[in-house]
């Protein structure tokens, strides 16, 4: 009997020998985030069988800690958990729209013990745990001077980081998403400036001062100018009964919100062209480009100046395009002229030829290039003189 027990215990332990306990290969990292920012933590565990991973939120101090388990969709859908269980277990937790209440310790728990969910046993024993802190801080105030630039010829932009809690490594400026060369500093000062000497539509836009803290903090200053409207080509040609497309583009910030096209008339107010009233005019506009398509050009009435006008909150700008309509037959006259010249020349050449040698007209095959005729120089072996075959 004892032998039987010993053997079965041995067999059981052998069978359980290839099982390995769970172990972390990747632990979640602590982070500091701003309010309304989002955070992500990653946890990877190996073990055989594949362990189960859970996320828990820890509040309070030891020994009065409270544990709350987080699941996918918790906190009003601000929590998302993504887990895969292939070869080993991975789990990623996303926290969005962070509030100060989200600050705390987050715990990644894993276990492959088959008894792990037994309520009668203490959880700590069967689960391995790894913790990380998330601290959500108020966005530090950056004071911008001036807060907005509107219709000025030059400006000095400055940013001042007033909350001095975070260590500052350096700062730089961004214009329209691209870092401005030469604006990067590593002096750790909480104050940075950028000088714009000449403000035109080319360098208007959104300027961001960025402080290299952990996490990065930035503030935007908008530099606004009146719209600048330019036509692709100031002189356009169209063919009669064909269609033509007139295009205007705009640069700068902010871009026009409204585009209008006018046709100028002599001694009258310009005609406002609108979409859809007739088949003749089609206007399609985006914020930086507008195009007017004129169908079925008429050589008399469609000739003239067309004006495109773009309006933004800072004003209106426009440009003119002069449209020329070519007659269908415009190219016909040179064509006929040159054809006439060719016919005259050919006639002259033929007449000259006929007159020079009226009695020696060669009406035999003048090619002499057909291969069979090459035996005109057949070298008969028994004669010294070459024979010429007259064709």
Partner 1 sequence: MPPAAVTNLGYTPPDGGWGWAVVFGAFISIGFSYAFPKSLTIYFKEIQEYFSVSYSEIAWVSSVMLASMYAGGPVSSVLVNRYGSRPVVIAGGVLVCTAMVLASFGTNIIHLYLCVGLIGGFGLAFNLQPSLTIIGTYFQAKRPLANGLAMTGSPVVLSTLAPLNQFLFDSFGWRGSFLILGSIVLNCCVAGALMRPVNKSIQRKTNNEASKCNSEAAEELAAAVDTSTHSDNLQTEEHQSEKKGQGFIQKFTDVSLFRHRGFLIYLIGNVVLFFGFFAPVVFLAPYAKHQGIDEYSAAFLLSMFALVDMFIRPATGLIGNTKWIRPRIQYFFSFAVLYNGICHLMCPLASGYTGLAVYAVFFGLAFGMLSALLFEVLMDLVGAHRFSSAVGLATIIECGPVLLGPPISGALVDYFGDYKYMYYACGVFMLVSGIFFFIMHYYNYKKLDEEHRLTAAAETGSPEEAVQLKMNQDDRTVTETDE
Binding residues for partner 1 (CB under 8 A)? 237, 239, 326, 330-332, 334-339, 342, 345-346, 349-350, 353, 357, 360, 362, 365-379, 381, 384-386, 388-391
Comparison of 64 and 389: residue with beta carbon closer to partner 1: 389
Shortest distance, CB of residue 94 to partner 1, whole angstroms? 41
CA distance 174 to 220: 9
Tell me the C-alpha to C-alpha distance, in Å, between residue 53 and each of 57, 92, 100, 109: 14, 10, 26, 6
Whether the Cβ atoms of residue 72 and residue 92 lie closer than 8 Å to each other? no
Q: Quick one: 1 or 370, whose CB is closer to partner 1?
A: 370
Distance separating alpha carbons of residues 129 and 124, to the nearest angstrom: 8
* HEC profile of the chain: CHHHHHHHHHHHHHHHHCCEEEEEEECCCCEEEECCCCEEEEEEEEEECCCEEEEEEEECCCCCCEEEEECCCHHHHCEEEEEEEECEEEEEEEECCCCHHHCEEEEEEEECCCCCCCCCCCHHHHCEEEEEEEEEECCCCEEEECCEEECCCCEEEEEEECCCCCCCCCEEEEECCEECCCCCECCCCCEEEEEECCCCCCCCEEEEEEECCCCCEEEEEEEECCCEEEECCCEEEEECCCCEEEEEEEECCCCCCEEEEEECCCCCCCEEECCCCCCCEEEEECCCEEEEEECCCCCCCCCEEEEEEEEECCEEEEEEEEEEEECCCCCHHHHHHHHHHHHHHHHHHHHHHHHHCCCCCCCCCCCCCCHHHHHHHCCCCCCCCCCCCCC
CA 318 – CA 159 distance, rounded (Å): 35
Rounded distance, CA 283 to CA 285, Å? 7
CB of 30 to partner 1, least distance (A): 45
Closest separation between CB of residue 379 and partner 1, Å? 6
User: Closest approach of Cβ 353 to partner 1, in Å?
Assistant: 6
Looking at beta carbons only, is 199 or 294 nearer to partner 1? Answer: 294
> Which lies closer to partner 1 via its Cβ, residue 156 or residue 340?
340
Q: Measured from the CB atom, is 239 or 311 closer to partner 1?
A: 239
> Looking at beta carbons only, is 195 or 388 nearer to partner 1?
388
Of 15 and 352, CB closest to partner 1: 352
Nearer to partner 1, 191 or 289 (CB): 289
Minimum Å gap between C-beta 264 and partner 1 is 24
Q: Which is nearer to partner 1, 271 or 338 (CB)?
A: 338
Q: How far is the CB of 343 from partner 1 (least distance, A)?
A: 9
CB of 230 to partner 1, least distance (A): 20
- Smallest distance, partner 1 to C-beta of residue 248, A: 17
* 132 neighbors 27 (Cβ within 8 angstroms): yes
CB of 367 to partner 1, least distance (A): 5
Q: How far is the CB of 344 from partner 1 (least distance, A)?
A: 9
Of 3 and 372, which CB lies nearer to partner 1 in the complex structure?
372
- Asked if 231 and 319 count as a contact pair (C-beta separation under 8 A), the reply is yes
């Amino acid at each position: 009997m004892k032998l039987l027990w010993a053997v079965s215990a041995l067999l059981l332990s052998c069978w359980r020998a290839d099982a390995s306990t769970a172990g972390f290969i990747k632990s979640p990292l602590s982070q500091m985030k701003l309010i309304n920012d989002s955070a992500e933590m990653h946890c990877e565990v190996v073990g055989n069988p594949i362990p189960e991973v859970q996320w828990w939120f820890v509040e309070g101090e030891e020994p009065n800690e409270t544990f709350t388990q987080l699941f996918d969709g918790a906190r009003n859908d601000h929590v998302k958990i993504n887990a895969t269980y292939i070869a080993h277990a991975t789990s990623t937790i996303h926290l969005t729209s962070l509030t100060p209440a989200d600050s705390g310790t987050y715990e990644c728990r894993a276990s492959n013990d088959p008894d792990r969910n037994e309520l009668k046993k203490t959880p700590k024993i069967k689960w391995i745990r790894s913790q990380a802190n998330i601290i959500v801080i108020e966005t530090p105030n950056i004071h911008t001077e001036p807060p907005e630039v509107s219709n000025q010829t030059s400006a000095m932009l400055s940013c001042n980081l007033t909350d001095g809690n975070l260590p500052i490594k350096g700062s730089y400026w961004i214009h329209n998403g691209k870092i401005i060369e030469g604006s990067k500093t590593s002096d750790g000062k909480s104050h940075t400036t950028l000088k714009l000497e000449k403000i035109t539509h080319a360098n208007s836009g959104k300027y961001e001062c960025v402080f290299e803290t952990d996490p990065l903090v930035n503030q935007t200053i908008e530099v606004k100018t009146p719209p600048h409207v330019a036509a692709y080509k100031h002189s356009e040609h169209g063919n009669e009964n064909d269609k033509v497309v007139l295009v205007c583009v705009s640069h700068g910030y902010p871009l026009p919100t409204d585009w209008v096209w006018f046709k100028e008339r002599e001694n009258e107010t310009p005609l406002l062209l609108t979409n859809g009233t007739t088949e003749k005019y089609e206007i399609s506009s985006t914020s930086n480009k507008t195009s007017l398509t004129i169908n079925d050009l008429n050589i008399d009435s469609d000739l003239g100046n067309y004006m495109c006008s773009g309006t933004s909150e800072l004003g209106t700008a426009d440009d003119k395009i002069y449209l020329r309509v070519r007659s269908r037959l415009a190219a016909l006259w040179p064509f006929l002229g040159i054809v006439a010249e060719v016919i005259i020349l050919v006639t002259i050449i033929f007449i000259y030829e006929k007159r020079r040698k009226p009695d020696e007209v060669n009406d035999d095959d003048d090619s002499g290039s057909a291969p069979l005729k090459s035996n005109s120089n057949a070298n008969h072996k028994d004669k010294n003189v070459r024979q010429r075959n007259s064709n």
